[in-house]
Amino acid sequence: MDNSQRILFITPIQHLRNFYGYVLQNHTIIEMVNPTYDDVKIQLPNWDILFCAPNHQTFVIDEELIKDTNIKCILTPSTGVNHIDVESIPIMSLKGDKILDDVWSTAEHTLYLILSIVRGKHELHDKTLGIIGYGRLGKMVEKLCKPLFKKIITIDKKSKISELSEFYKDSDVVSIHMDLNPTTENLIGNDFLSFFSKSIYLINTARGEIVNEHDIKHLLSVGRIKGYATDVLQSEYTGEKSIFDGVENVIVTPHIAGTSPEAQEKTYKRVLEKYEIYFNKTLNNFLETTEYKWIKNGFVRHGGKYLSALHYIVKYQPKVIVEYGGGQSTFMITELVNYLDYGGKVIAYESDEYWYNDHIKEGWNKYNNINLVEVEETTEDEISGIRYIHPLEDIEGVDFVIIDGPDLRGELWKNNPRTTFNLMDIVNHIGYEIPFFIDGRMGTRGFYKDFLEYTTDIGDVSYEDNS
């Protein structure tokens, strides 16, 4: 990234001298300390990148805020993005980033809250700590707290009934470390807390929306909760007064768990690095920065056979890509085309109704590029196969074709000579040379190698085996 990129920080970084110097050397910046929504709205049209952090915001960044601006990307040095409600431009966060394995500030703040709310009233050495959510932070908290508690019990969505029973029976202090999503929103409330056999201390350094604050306040008043210590509130981005103001046995810190100088320097630098990598558009950088695990997993599972196709897309940027057989490959290809941002279009055809409805349609409505169509049995030079039924006029301008299956087995294609004949349809319809890619299945490769070598009606054919 060059110095022409202009970054608007709406988070104070004065104490991060090393980081500040790094930013000044590489970027043009302005810093706004504790701005209002309207303050940012006035400044935003003059900048390229918006840098924000949840612990320094009192409002949600939304589509209205970035409308009619040149903002290319929003950066946030956090795992959660509930302080951002934007879908039209990329958001660079630290969700799933390995750098967080070396950031202990939130876990240490959790320990601080435990000591603050419990110590002075009770000792910890004979108490049991219950941890809800056993990911990175849950494991860090367990490690820090192990010397202090008699026992630590951890649960997550995979926990067995027996583990849950022990958790509800023995926990004296409960610490929340779950992601915020539709299944966890308002999860910790009357119903959940009614399972505990005794009054507990509750700690929250996750997200304010995970707890039902009205239920927590009521349970505090009747003694079902001995104390509540939190770094996060539901009212953080609304400007409303916290319902815990003046309530006894409550400690609230202003979303500062992750704001140690060491943590901020690491995370702030890393999110800027991710931005620079993202906009240096290479295949490796795409795979490094994408936050969709299914792309990474899909590449691990299928990357070997699709590597040449992905490299082709990066190098030649085909405007219209047609794929026969929708699925994991379509996911990778579509996200790569969107990442490259050259105006490419992906059209995929799928014939399996179950696969389409249960694995494709729901998650890919936003792209409108996978079509459920019928297939017909057909023959070509006495070789059996299938043809996806669709109007050819819908795919004018095709400059890359991908054949994904069907999965042929046996001694190459000869023992089971079935394939997809749409490639020949497209070539004949378009009337010009077109590159195509066939997946790594031996039967598919074998069929097309032999078939295209002996077929004369589509002109000269070049064949390259990149397996």
pLDDT digits over 135-144, tens only? 999 999 999 9
The whole-number pLDDT of residue 173 equals 97
Which one, of 205, 196, 208, 252, lies nearest residue 227 by Cα?
A: 252
Residue 160 has pLDDT above 70, yes or no: yes
> Can you give the pLDDT at residue 383?
64
If you average pLDDT over every residue of the chain, what do you get? 82
pLDDT category of residue 466 using cuts at 50, 70 and 90: very low
Residue 203 near residue 173 (C-beta atoms within 8 A): yes
Most confident listed range (34-38, 42-46, 139-143, 334-338)? 139-143
| CATH number for the domain running over 104-252 | 3.40.50.720
Confidence of residue 465 (pLDDT cuts 50, 70, 90): very low
pLDDT tens for each residue of 112-150: 999 999 987 899 999 999 999 999 999 999 999 999 999
Higher pLDDT pick, 464 / 450: 450
Residue pair 425/380 in contact by the 8 Å Cβ criterion: no
Calculate mean pLDDT across residues 192-211.
Answer: 95
Give the pLDDT of residue 66. 94
Q: What is the pLDDT of residues 348-399, one digit of tens each?
A: 888 888 878 877 766 555 555 777 888 887 776 666 677 888 877 767 788 8
Q: Which CATH class is domain 6-95+262-278?
A: alpha beta
φ, ψ of residue 182 in degrees (nearest 5)? -55, -30
Residue 409: what pLDDT?
A: 43
Give the list of residues 6+ apart from residue 224 with CB closer than 8 angstroms, or none. Answer: 193, 196, 199
How many whole angstroms separate alpha carbon 308 and alpha carbon 462?
16
Task: Tell me the whole-structure pTM to 2 decimals.
Answer: 0.64
Residue 37, pLDDT > 90, answer yes
Per-position b or e across 305-337, b if 16+ CB within 10 A of its CB: bbeebbebbbeebbeebbbbbbbbbbbbbbbbb
Residues 6 or more apart whose Cβ sits within 8 Å of residue 446: 408, 412, 413, 414
| Residue 251, pLDDT above cutoff 70 | yes
Closest C-alpha among 426, 425, 404, 406 to residue 320: 426
Question: Does 285 or 88 have the greater pLDDT score?
Answer: 88
Number of H helices and number of E strands within the chain?
16, 20
CA angle 110, 116, 118 (to 5 degrees): 100
Instruction: Give domain limits for the chain.
Output: 6-95+262-278, 104-252, 283-454
Average pLDDT rounded to a whole number, residues 301-325: 79
Q: What pLDDT shows up at residue 26?
A: 72
pLDDT of residue 280: 81
Q: Are strands 375-380 and 383-388 parallel, antiparallel or unpaired?
A: antiparallel
Least reliable range by pLDDT among 165-179, 240-254, 372-386: 372-386
pLDDT at position 304 is 54
Amino acid at 262: E
**Does position 462 have pLDDT exceeding 70, yes or no?**
no
According to CATH, what is the number of the domain 283-454?
3.40.50
Give the span between the Cα atoms of 405 and 104, in whole angstroms.
47
What's the token pair of residue 273? 């690095």
Indicate if the pLDDT at residue 461 is higher than 50.
Answer: no
CA angle 349, 352, 354 (to 5 degrees): 125
Mean pLDDT across the stretch 440-454? 58
Query: Residue 236 in contact with residue 57, Cβ under 8 Å?
Result: yes
Q: What is the mean pLDDT of residues 40-49?
A: 92
| Confidence band for 245, pLDDT divided at 50, 70 and 90 | very high
Angstrom distance (rounded) from CA 464 to CA 467? 9
Structure tokens at 205: 């350094």
pLDDT at 408 > cutoff 60: no
User: Confidence class of residue 467 from pLDDT cuts 50, 70 and 90?
Assistant: very low
Which residues are within 8 A (CB) of 267 and not within 5 positions of it... i.e. 6 or more apart?
Answer: 77, 78, 94, 99, 100, 103, 258
